[in-house]
């Protein structure tokens, strides 16, 4: 009998031990994984039943709030007070918090602050535990300037594309607009089925873009994609800034250096018409076949920059691309897409001399985000020092006490201040008397560069990047119009994108 009891006691002890180990494992070791599991709806209920912190822009305007409601979730996440039109202006930045578990944009990447769960808020959580008060999230203040944001939104009009503006001295992002956009309020409803249906509809609603030959083509990006940081395009002639920077920095060129500027350029290692590249519209750059670098930049001579990239060579061009940090993702805090350059990415593996030369004018396998194109101008504007882009200005707890504040930091230094001065000189001439006159602002010297990028089978993608004032830069801008070109003088980056950039810069420097 005693032996039987001992065996039974042993079994019971083992069962209790197994239960304790299992419970401890679930509560401590596996807690994070279980909380993040998509099938765990308790986390969503808990998050939505909390007074989540607001997202505000410069000046204190709240563009995202939590409003008390009479349902199981207790609070309704609301964007621009429920105004769908106003909310769509900021949607690519704010993202949305959906009851089906989908969280995007700042709602996702600043979640620890908004939910009041960040490690820096431990004292607030302790006080709530002691007093029994309901936990409140912190407010997140963005660097976005509402006037610059609205100017960018209005200037883009009905175009498919994006615009981004940066303070080149700090890296603060002043505007971030992506079109088409969406109303995040339709995704924040407290009905999982409705939220899922609305999300799927947006994902599948890719806009039709212009195409070569008139065939129907859809954009690869839907409205929920933030085109400023997660869409990549051929940068076209805006990339000539990087080509020129490499030539000046590594090859000792100056704006006055005479460089080849033929009517037609035969890509190295090729023969026949397949390797022949002409200037835009078949135009002649120079009667002599040569011209100063500054004039080649001013009129955006393609053949000159093909030859220039070939002279710099693979090592120099790749090095400059990497020195800008374009092969790296940045947390702003949303994660940005990386650029593609021949030999430096899976999507651009062919780094033959022909592909390197073609990259000199921003074509071929080369791809960049609008933020990266703006970063080129920002580095030039800031004497060769590229500041790290960021979106969060500060965080304050529920008592409005400062929790954290972003300190500007240098991200990269791709070239010297003398190279920056030379590039600035050439960019000013582009706007003053070249391909970018549409970006002129009365009484202000503007530095800029146009771009018209072939994107077969779609129509050309149009670009403009710039900064102003040229002698004391306050804002750097990039504008992209996705497949809005028609290969005519009236539909180039200089004609259509530069006036948009001018309106954005005007809003920023008039403050």
Instruction: Give the pair of three-digit tokens for residue 104.
Output: 């995007």
**Residues designated catalytic:** 237
Phi, psi (rounded to 5 degrees) for 507:
-65, -35
- Start-to-end CA span in the chain (Å): 92
76 and 115 Cβ atoms separated by less than 8 Å: no
Give 233's strand partners.
368
In the chain, the largest separation of any two C-alpha atoms, in whole Å, equals: 113
On the 0-12 / 13-18 / 19+ scale of CB atoms within 10 A, 413 is middle
C-beta separation of 413 from 456 below 8 A: no
d(CA 496, CA 316): 32
Q: If we measure between CA atoms, which residue out of 146, 196, 61 comes closest to residue 507?
A: 146
From the centroid of its chain, how far is CA 288?
Answer: 41
Euclidean distance between CA atoms 128 and 501, whole angstroms: 48
How many helical (H) and strand (E) elements, i.e. helices and strands, does the chain have? 17, 19
How far is Cα 269 from Cα 116, in angstroms, rounded to an integer?
A: 60
DSSP character for 406? P
């Amino acid at each position: 009998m005693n032996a039987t009891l001992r065996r039974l006691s042993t079994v019971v002890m083992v069962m209790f031990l197994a239960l304790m180990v299992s419970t401890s494992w679930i509560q401590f070791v596996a807690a994070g994984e279980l909380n993040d599991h998509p099938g765990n709806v308790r986390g969503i209920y808990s998050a939505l039943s909390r007074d989540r912190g607001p997202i505000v822009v410069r000046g204190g305007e709240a563009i995202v709030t939590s409003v008390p409601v009479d349902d199981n979730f207790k609070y309704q996440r609301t964007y621009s007070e429920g105004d769908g039109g106003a909310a769509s202006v900021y949607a690519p930045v704010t993202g949305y918090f959906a009851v089906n578990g989908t969280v995007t944009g700042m709602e996702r990447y600043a979640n620890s602050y908004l939910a009041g769960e960040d490690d820096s808020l431990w004292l607030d959580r302790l006080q709530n535990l002691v007093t029994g008060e309901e936990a409140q999230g912190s407010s997140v203040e963005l660097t976005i300037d509402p006037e610059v944001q609205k100017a960018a939104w209005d200037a883009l009009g009905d175009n498919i594309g994006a615009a981004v503006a940066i303070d080149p001295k700090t890296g603060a992002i002043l505007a971030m607009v992506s079109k088409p956009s969406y109303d995040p309020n339709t995704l924040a409803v407290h009905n999982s089925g409705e939220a899922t249906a609305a999300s799927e509809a947006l994902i599948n609603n890719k806009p039709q873009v212009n195409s070569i030959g008139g065939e129907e083509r859809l954009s690869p990006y839907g409205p929920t994609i933030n085109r400023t940081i997660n869409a990549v395009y051929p940068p076209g002639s805006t990339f000539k800034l990087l080509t020129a920077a490499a030539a000046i920095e590594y090859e000792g060129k100056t704006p006055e250096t005479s460089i080849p500027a033929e009517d037609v350029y035969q890509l190295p290692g090729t023969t026949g018409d397949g390797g022949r590249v002409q200037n835009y519209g078949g135009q002649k750059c120079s009667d002599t076949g040569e011209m100063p670098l500054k004039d080649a930049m001013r009129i955006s001579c393609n053949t000159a920059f093909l030859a220039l990239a070939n002279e710099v060579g693979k090592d120099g061009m790749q090095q400059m691309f990497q020195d800008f940090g374009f092969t790296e993702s940045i947390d702003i805090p949303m994660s940005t897409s990386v650029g593609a350059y021949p030999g430096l990415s899976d999507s651009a593996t062919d780094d033959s001399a022909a592909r390197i030369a073609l990259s000199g004018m921003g074509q071929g396998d080369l791809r960049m985000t609008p933020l990266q194109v703006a970063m080129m101008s920002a580095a030039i504007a800031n004497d060769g020092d590229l500041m790290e882009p960021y979106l969060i200005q500060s965080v304050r707890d529920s008592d409005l006490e400062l929790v954290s504040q972003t300190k500007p930091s240098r991200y990269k230094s791709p070239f010297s201040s003398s190279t920056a001065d030379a590039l600035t000189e050439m960019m000013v001439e582009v706007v003053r008397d070249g391909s970018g006159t549409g970006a002129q602002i009365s009484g202000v010297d503007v530095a800029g560069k146009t771009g018209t990028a072939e994107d077969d089978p779609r129509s050309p993608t149009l670009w403009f990047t710039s900064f102003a004032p040229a002698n004391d830069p306050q804002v750097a801008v990039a504008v992209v119009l996705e497949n809005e070109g028609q290969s005519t003088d009236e539909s180039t980056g200089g004609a259509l994108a530069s006036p948009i950039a001018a309106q954005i810069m005007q809003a920023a420097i008039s403050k």
